[in-house]
């Protein structure tokens, strides 16, 4: 299966590596094709790993994993492109954390709204599934 992982951080790399270890093909997407973290990941990850822009990755993947910073998720998914997300499962690992006042972070969404709901409203043709939101990253 072909997966797109949007984001080059610890969560994205961990999920991408696990998918590769299970025999899947993974494209890691970022804002630019020459993202240093993505290229370093690809060099270490092997032949089923590739990189590209958010749009490239979303077009490639049968399943999309949003592993971007919560405050950047809506922008990253807009860059991925509505047509590239339409009809696909979009696994959202992001959290609406606001670090502007230091630790501990607060949320930039308020009940009853959530970041997942905002993502679904922005991309109504995607099939958004929230995941990993109560687990700390390794």
Instruction: For residues 24 and 29, give the distance between their C-alpha atoms in angstroms, rounded to a whole number.
Output: 16
- Tokens, residue 65: 């994993």
Per-residue pLDDT, averaged over 92-99, amounts to: 86
3-state secondary structure of 106: strand
- Is the alpha carbon torsion for 94, 97, 102, 106 positive or negative? negative
Q: Which one has a higher pLDDT value, 59 or 138?
A: 59
Q: How confident is the model at residue 129 (pLDDT cuts 50, 70, 90)?
A: very high
* Phi, psi of 52, deg, nearest 5: 180, -170
Task: Answer whether residue 81 shows pLDDT above 80.
Answer: yes
pLDDT in tens, 9-64: 999 999 999 999 999 999 999 999 999 999 999 999 999 999 999 999 999 999 99
Specify the pLDDT at position 98.
76
Q: How confident is the model at residue 99 (pLDDT cuts 50, 70, 90)?
A: confident
Taking the model in full, what pTM does it have? 0.92
Specify the pLDDT at position 15.
96
């Amino acid at each position: 299966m072909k997966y797109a992982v949007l984001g080059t951080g610890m969560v994205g790399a961990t999920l991408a590596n696990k998918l590769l270890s299970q025999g899947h093909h993974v494209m890691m997407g970022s804002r630019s094709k020459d993202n240093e973290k993505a290229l370093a990941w690809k060099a270490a990850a092997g032949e089923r790993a590739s990189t590209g822009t958010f749009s490239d990755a979303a077009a490639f993947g049968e399943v999309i994993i949003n592993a971007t910073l919560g405050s950047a998720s809506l922008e990253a998914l807009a860059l991925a492109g509505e047509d590239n997300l339409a009809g696909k499962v979009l696994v959202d690992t992001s959290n609406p954390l606001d670090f502007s006042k230091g630790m501990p972070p607060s949320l930039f969404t308020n009940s009853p709204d959530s970041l997942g709901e905002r993502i679904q409203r922005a991309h109504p043709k995607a099939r958004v599934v929230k995941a990993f939101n109560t687990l700390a990253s390794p």
